[in-house]
Amino acid sequence: MLAQIHSLPALIREVLPLYERNAREALDDNLCSAARRLFVTGCGDSHHATLASELAFESLAGLPTEPMTALQMSRYAVDFMPEGEPGANIVIGISASGEVSRTLEALLRARQVGATTIALTGTAGSRIALAGDRLLLVTVPPFDFAPGVRSYIATLLMLYLAAARLGEARGKLMPIQAADVRQEIAATADAIERTLALCDEPACTLAKDWKDADEFVFTGGGPNFGTALFSAAKILEASGDSAVGQDTEEWAHLQYFCRAVPTPTFIITAAGRDASRMVEVAVAARAIGRRVVIVAPEDLSGLPDLTGLYFAPVREMFSPLVACIPGMLFAAHRADVLGESFFRAFGGGRDVADGGGISRIRTSELRV
């Protein structure tokens, strides 16, 4: 897992030109100009990426964007999708494997009610790739098996490139502005390199110092609510510990009253719109005895009396690409410290048969 994390800057530099061409070809002018609403859906890490992309789509493309889980989309929301002209509703379904049943169901049902469907997947020829009217292919060069790291970054890259393409084609961005945005996305490779240098050793130290902990909380706001959920997911997958991702505001309404006082709590912010609330929540968490870590841009490293895992600053809408690095590093180091096997070694009733075993991620009943 650590090797995958450290491979991310090279991965971005390798795949970005191909992803950029794919976004231009898949998202033509007619599709982009007809769009009035965007729905982005997926499961697990793919759902976390939908939350991390909402601000970029709304800011760059000017499209009202609704991220949601695939179950919510397929079994509930699709029946109430707003009516409009052909192409007014676009649904992007995300699945790295391309075989997740619930995301496939969401795309198939969205197509039935007249939405334009776009499959975002790393697997050409998969069921989800074939179910979309358009395909955003995020092929990732193979690497050793570990909790999803490279696939998540690849998904975020494509979503941000899609937002830039939509914005350009819809006239929300002038061509020179769109080119600047793409360069900004490319520069996140350098930002991740800087973040790895800042965070790897401190994350390892925290993993050793907090070996006694048995649960973790990650909070984030805006695009980094997705980062909080993703970071908690990496703890669950890497070391099997209980971990919760939560909206920063919701922490003050709920976790504030938890009986387990010393629970390590990671407060994630890009120092954007949520910055003032992040400071208040950090103070409250410390006051009730929580072990608090701020995950924030390095120019906030002067905050008094707070442990920090700092990342290189980028614009808030793109911050999930770098803000996820500290949580991934901590999860990887914790698994090493505890000697735990990823995914609980698929034991205790868990297995990988048919892509999910008894949980039936890929074989669940399709309702279409």
In the structure encoding, which two tokens stand for residue 284, read together? 């409250």
Element (H, E) at 353: none
307 phi/psi in degrees, rounded to 5: -70, 140
Beta pairing partners, 326 = none
Rounded Cα gap, residues 178 and 164, in angstroms: 6
Nearest C-alpha neighbor of 165 from the set 42, 35, 323, 68: 35
Nearest C-alpha neighbor of 122 from the set 102, 105, 107, 100: 100
Which residues fall within 8 angstroms of residue 302, CB to CB, at 6 or more apart? Answer: none
Q: Please answer whether residues 62 and 167 qualify as being in contact, where contact means their C-beta atoms are separated by less than 8 angstroms.
A: yes
Rounded Cα gap, residues 177 and 188, in angstroms: 17
pLDDT at 86: 85
pLDDT tens for each residue of the chain, 368 residues long: 999 999 999 999 999 999 999 999 999 999 999 999 999 999 999 999 999 999 999 999 999 999 999 999 999 999 999 888 888 999 999 999 999 999 999 999 999 999 999 999 999 999 999 999 999 999 999 888 889 999 999 999 999 999 999 999 999 999 999 999 999 999 999 999 999 999 999 999 999 999 999 999 999 999 999 999 999 999 999 999 999 999 999 999 999 999 988 999 999 999 999 999 998 999 999 999 999 999 999 987 656 567 899 999 999 999 999 999 999 999 999 999 999 999 998 888 888 887 788 899 999 999 99
pLDDT at 40: 98
3-class state of residue 115 by DSSP: coil
Which residues fall within 8 angstroms of residue 226, CB to CB, at 6 or more apart? Answer: 48, 49, 50, 51, 52, 53, 67, 220, 320
pLDDT at 302: 58
pLDDT at 353: 82
Rounded Cα gap, residues 14 and 280, in angstroms: 40
pLDDT at 303: 61
In the structure encoding, which two tokens stand for residue 119, read together? 């499959």
Q: Which residues of 131-167 are buried (b: 16+ CB within 10 A; e: fewer)?
A: bbbbbbbbebeeeeebbbbbbbbbbbbbbbbbbbbbb
CB neighbour class for 367 (10 Å; exposed up to 12, middle 13-18, buried from 19): exposed
pLDDT at 258: 92
Per-residue CA distances from 261 to 228, 229, 251, 286 (Å): 20, 21, 14, 10
**Structural domains for the chain:** 2-186 (3.40.50.10490), 194-344 (3.40.50.10490)
Which residues fall within 8 angstroms of residue 134, CB to CB, at 6 or more apart? Answer: 26, 27, 31, 116, 117, 118, 119
Per-residue CA distances from 208 to 6, 147, 213, 236, 332 (Å): 20, 20, 10, 17, 12
Distance of CA 241 to the CA centre of its chain: 20
3-class state of residue 347 by DSSP: coil
Which residues fall within 8 angstroms of residue 17, CB to CB, at 6 or more apart? Answer: none
> What does the longest C-alpha to C-alpha distance in the chain come to?
58
**Cα radius of gyration rounded to whole Å, the chain:** 20
- As a residue count, the chain comes to 368
Question: Per-residue DSSP letters for 79-108?
Answer: GGPPP-STTSEEEEEEESSS--HHHHHHHH
